[in-house]
Amino acid sequence: MEQQQVNGGGSWTSFVKSIASFNGDLASLTAPPFILSSTSLTEFSSYWCEHPSVFVAPAKEPDAAKRALLVLKWFLTTLKQQYASRSEQYGNEKKPLNPFLGELFLGKWEDDAGTTELISEQVSHHPPATAYAIVNMSAGVRLEGYNAQKASFSKTINIKQIGHAVLTVPSPSSKEPDTYLITLPSLHIEGLIFGSPFIELDGSSYITSSTGFTAKIDYSGKGWLSGKKNSLTATLYPTGKEKDVLFNVTGQWTKTFDIHSGPAKHNSKDTLITSWDPAQSPTSELCVAPIDKQHPLESRRAWSRVAAAIAKGDLDAVGLEKSKIENAQRERRVQEKSEGRMWQRRYFSVPDTPDRVLTHLGPIVGLAEHGDADKTGGLWRFDLQKTEKEHSRPLLSEDEASKLAKELLGQ
């Protein structure tokens, strides 16, 4: 990648040097405009469900172990979209726009799985956290979760993802639905010194269920002497019996992975259940309202001027338009503080009572009852009552939208 010049004679090299010398959480470091993506972090929630038919498939499986396997398969199919799709789109990883408090991203998928709706909201700014809900009413499948990131530098950019997700799937044998608690993998950025950054996952993540099954996913990359980029191995076993492997997965999350029955040491053509190849599995299109029909706080409308400036390569305009939004948000927080009130979230709430999922399943995968709430501004859960109230509101007129945009975004 050719090093791109920035204002003041900066370059990709000087940017990397600034990261290496920065002391603290890199999330607070302002990135130069030339490395910015025109996509906000609130949009990243859509990566959980770009294959809706795979998302709802567990609802059709009567066997609990196989249902847990289908959940594992769905999770693994999301990894390429979550962590590699931007590198394919832009040629390398770019820094997403930092959402402002109250920012929304709304959309839906219409395909063979029916209608699957997405709601994503920036529920906290200090610390920054995004909450999301993905719901397919006809299948009865719902995903909800929230996440934040803590970035640091040690030879490369290391990012710890904070938060978790909960998948709810109807059970054919019980009135109570199954719940699956999902932890998030850590990651780091490769290719920084060459100016072509991309994400590599590391460590382990887990999926554990109320039906008594747990999946462990281990991530690795290409080493100096061996290994392949974006590699994974996974096992599914009865909770607490990690050696009693029912199914295992091997492969690459950006290319092909194979699912076998039994432990990996017995893998053969006879034990192969299925394979997943992202290249042969096109994603479903996410439908988003035209920008002029969106609420002023929806990502693509709110950041439209910034996105246009990034597309033109007009770095001065990028800085100017970003500053308008950031300054308006600061003024809004000062005003709220002076009036003794807080910003009201539209779709999510922090429950007053202990969270049942974390209480029962959290200890299995090392999550506390509070779910790192101190690092995400709260333990956020989808609030159906708020959602129904929000959907019942009439659309804003263009004059009302313009007034609100000026008040909240400085536009």
Domain ranges within the chain, ordered by starting residue = 14-287
pLDDT at 28 over 60: no
The 10s digit of each residue's pLDDT in 137-170 is 999 999 999 999 988 877 788 899 999 999 999 9
Nearest-CA neighbor of 74 among 86, 61, 62, 87? 61
How much of the chain exceeds pLDDT 90, in percent?
A: 70
Average pLDDT over the chain, rounded to whole?
Answer: 89
The 10s digit of each residue's pLDDT in 281-296 is 999 999 999 999 999 9
Residue 316 CA to residue 363 CA, distance in Å, equals 49
Q: Does domain 14-287 have CATH number 1.20.140.10?
A: no
What's the average model confidence in pLDDT over 273-284?
95
pTM over 0.75: yes
Residue 348 CA to residue 344 CA, distance in Å, equals 9
Residue 44 is predicted with a pLDDT of 96
Neighbours of 360 (CB within 10 A): 14
